[in-house]
Structures are given as C-alpha cells and as structure tokens.
C-alpha cells in the first residue's frame, strides 16, 4: 500500500541539521506513527513520504518554509524578571508557557541579564534546514475513528 491521504504510517528516522549534527532520532524507540494528511508532521516531510511503501528508505531535505518556519524576530522579547512569579532561578534554556493575545505560546529563555529576561517564542528548529533519513516500517488504512479524530489510535483503540 502506498502512503496517501488517510494512511497510517510508521517510520524510523534520524534528523540532522546542515552541519550533520543529530537533532533527533527514533533509534532505540518505537517508530513514529502518524495519520497522513492530517497535519500531524511537518509539511515538507509529509510531502516527501507521499507515495512511499513499507520498506522504502529515503532522505528528505526540508526547508524552513516547509518545516518549522523562518525565525520571526517579533517572537523574541525582553521581559522583566518579575514576570516569572514563583520561579526562584531562571536560566538560559528553560521553557515556559506564556499567555499571549493569540493564546498560549511556549517560550525558551535565551538570556538573563540582571532583571531582564530574553525569551524566544520561535520553535527551536525555526529557520533551520532539516535533513531526515527515513525508513518506512508500516503503511495501513486508517480506521474511520482515526480519520474522524485526525490522529492514530493505539492497538487498544481510542485512548483520549
């Protein structure tokens, strides 16, 4: 069966940046499973998987536009230290959920200087080319329930 709209796909992957550094991998874990066409993975990788079958191996090079987007400078802000009420120590790399006019947004602390904290609301992989080495391990038709819910259900069925 070929990967197409409403297929359930399982694949192993290794993700590297342009410098060849491994950013993520399914090695030693279960393959990543998703519902094709439901927006569950980044668009560029989903496009590269279209038409593939069980056992296929491929390298997918995904640009920022089809990955996590370009860096948006307006999502980098300096905020006062007292905006982090109840947090004793703030360090670079820490993540917080910020309440914005557009709803909740995950931000990463990138710098702490005195009473000023710089946070970045961009995805950590925004602006980067993403290079995936992929092996498709399973392709099957999605159940009606999976299609209605927009995601894959486990072997025991509905889990939420």
User: Where is average pLDDT lowest: 93-107, 120-134, 135-149?
Assistant: 93-107
Query: What are the residue ranges spanned by the domains of the chain?
Result: 7-68+125-149, 73-120
- Return the structure tokens found at 20: 């060849």
Over the range 96-135, which residues count as b (16 or more CB within 10 Å of their CB) and which as e?
A: eeeeeeeeeeebbbeebeeeebbbbbbbebbebebbbebb
For domain 73-120, give the CATH number. Answer: 2.40.10.330
pLDDT band for 17, please (50, 70, 90 cuts). very high
Q: Is the pLDDT of residue 153 over 70?
A: yes
Which CATH number among 3.10.50.40, 3.30.460.10, 2.30.30.180, 2.40.240.20 corresponds to the domain 7-68+125-149? 3.10.50.40
User: For 39-88, what is each residue's pLDDT tens digit?
Assistant: 999 999 999 999 999 999 999 999 999 999 999 999 999 999 999 988 98
CB atoms within 10 A of CB 8: 21
pLDDT of residue 155: 65
Which long-range CB contacts under 8 A does 90-99 form with residues at least 24 apart? Answer: 90/117
């Amino acid at each position: 069966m070929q990967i197409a709209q409403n297929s359930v796909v399982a694949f192993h992957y290794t993700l590297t940046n342009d410098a060849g550094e491994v950013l993520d991998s399914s090695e030693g874990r279960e393959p990543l499973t998703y519902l094709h066409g439901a927006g569950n993975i980044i668009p560029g990788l989903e496009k590269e998987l279209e038409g593939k079958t069980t056992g296929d191996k491929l390298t997918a090079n995904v640009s920022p536009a089809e990955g996590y987007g370009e860096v948006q400078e307006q999502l980098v802000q300096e905020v006062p230290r007292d905006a982090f009420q109840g947090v004793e120590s703030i360090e670079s790399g820490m993540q917080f959920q910020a309440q914005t006019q557009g709803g909740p947004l995950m931000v990463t602390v990138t710098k702490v200087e005195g009473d000023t904290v710089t946070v970045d609301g961009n995805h950590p992989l925004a602006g980067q080319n993403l290079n995936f080495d992929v092996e498709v391990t399973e392709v099957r038709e999605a159940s009606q329930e999976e299609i209605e819910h927009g995601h894959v259900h486990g072997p025991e069925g509905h889990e939420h």
